[in-house]
Amino acid sequence: MRTNTRSPHPNLYSWFIEELDATGKKIGPDYKPWGSNLHFDAKNLRVYRGLTLEDGKAKASDGIIGALIPSEGRRHSAVVYSFFGTDRPVDTITLRICKSEDEREVCAVWGSVAYISEWDFEDVRTPDTVELQLFLAPSRFED
Average pLDDT, the chain: 89
pLDDT of residue 143: 77
CA dist 3 and 31 (Å) reads 9
Angle at 86 between CA 122 and CA 45, to 5 degrees: 70
Q: Is the pLDDT of residue 63 over 90?
A: yes
Instruction: Tell me the pTM.
Output: 0.75
Average pLDDT over residues 47-55: 89
Q: Is the pLDDT of residue 75 over 70?
A: no
pLDDT of residue 106: 95
Q: Per-residue pLDDT tens for 80-131?
A: 888 887 889 998 899 999 998 888 999 999 999 999 999 899 999 999 999 9
Q: Give the SS3 label for residue 83.
A: coil
Q: Give the SS3 label for residue 2.
A: strand
The band of 76, judged by pLDDT with boundaries at 50, 70 and 90, is: low
